[in-house]
Amino acid sequence: MPTPSTRARYAARIDKVVDYLVDHLDDSLPLERLASIGHFSPWHFHRIYRGMMGETIQTTVQRLRLQRAANELVHGRRTLDDIARDAGYASQAAFARAFTPAYGLPPGRFRQQGGIPTPLSTAPYKPPADGETYAVCVQLLDSIDVAALRHRGDYKRIGDAFQRLAAWSAGQGIAATEARSFGIYDQDPESVDVNALTSYACIEIPPGTQAATSVSALHHSFGPACGTGTYRSLH
């Protein structure tokens, strides 16, 4: 079993690989190239990646492409055929077979009902019926320790930051699917240029957890938090 310091080094190198995957989803992704980015030998890379991330590289790429497709279904206007091809599927039927188990609805219905994917979860998502709203829920959250990764630009792409944060948390032995996660959004997207928007992907961490170069450890007071409305209307 790797020591904590070895896991931290591996996590930093795996994080570089995940960054590359996020930015090159439409490119060829040979194992040798990915291994070299993380400074691993091809022989050991696949085993280390799976041990750190809990899934194969192919599964990560498929999940990232489906996440991108889910966002495109809700926020874009491209056809299902085009979205399916960009996600790596030759037909709508093949796309639906992969998408439906991940998000709980076939792509067409997901688009109609305005579903939005959860960055760190593959659990089926069940959006409200069209026009239905959630009851307002206001909670006063206590101050908690979080790891925060800054995201700059379109809030809809914060899922990329959550994916990078998942790679870091794996190196810390933190189960990203079990720890609470939060998004912090600094500006009103209707009054600030999209390229100037800043936000933070956050995950709860045990006190005293050491951060990395790109990840900040914060003791944050979230204060009152509330939510209402359909996902289609959220900002």
Residue 31: which H helix or E strand, with range?
helix 31-37
Partners of 200 in the beta sheet? 150, 184
Tokens (6 digits) for 35: 């291994």
- Interatomic CA distance for residues 183 and 207, integer angstroms: 19
The answer to whether residues 172 and 221 belong to one domain is yes
- How would DSSP label each residue in 135-203? PPEEEEEPPEEEEEEEEES-GGGHHHHHHHHHHHHHHTT--TTTS-EEEEE-S-TTTS-GGG-EEEEEE
Please indicate, yes or no, whether the overall pTM of this predicted structure exceeds 0.75.
no
Question: What CATH number has the domain bearing residue 179?
Answer: 3.20.80.10
Report the pLDDT value the prediction gives residue 39, as an integer from 0 to 100: 93
Q: What is the pLDDT along the chain (235 residues), one digit of tens a residue?
A: 566 677 778 888 888 898 899 889 999 999 999 999 999 998 889 888 888 777 888 888 888 888 888 888 888 889 999 999 999 999 999 999 999 988 888 999 888 887 654 443 433 334 444 444 445 566 666 778 888 888 888 887 887 788 777 767 766 667 655 677 788 888 888 888 888 899 988 888 887 777 665 677 766 666 555 544 333 333 3
Residue range(s) defining the domain that contains residue 13: 4-54
Assess if residue 131 is contained within a domain. Answer: no
pLDDT of residue 201: 86
Same domain, 73 and 41: no
Enumerate the β-bridge partners of residue 223.
141
Model pLDDT, residue 213:
57
What is the predicted pLDDT for the residue at 222? Answer: 60
Whether residues 103 and 22 share a domain: the answer is no
Residues 206 and 158 in one domain: yes
Q: CATH number for the domain including 93?
A: 1.10.10.60
**What are residue 147's DSSP bridge partners?**
203, 217
pLDDT of 40 reads 94
Give backbone dihedrals phi and psi of 123, rounded to 5 degrees, phi first.
Answer: -65, 145
Do the Cβ atoms of 126 and 104 come closer than 8 Å?
yes
pLDDT for the residue numbered 138? 63
End-to-end Cα, the chain, rounded Å? 44
Does one domain contain both 146 and 223? Answer: yes
User: Are 21 and 106 in the same domain?
Assistant: no
Q: What is the pLDDT of residue 178?
A: 65
Total domains, the chain: 3
**Helix (H/G/I), strand (E/B), else coil: 59:** helix
Q: In what order do the strands lie in the sheet with 181-185?
A: 181-185, 198-204, 144-152, 216-220
Q: Nearest-5° angle of CA 19, CA 148, CA 144?
A: 150
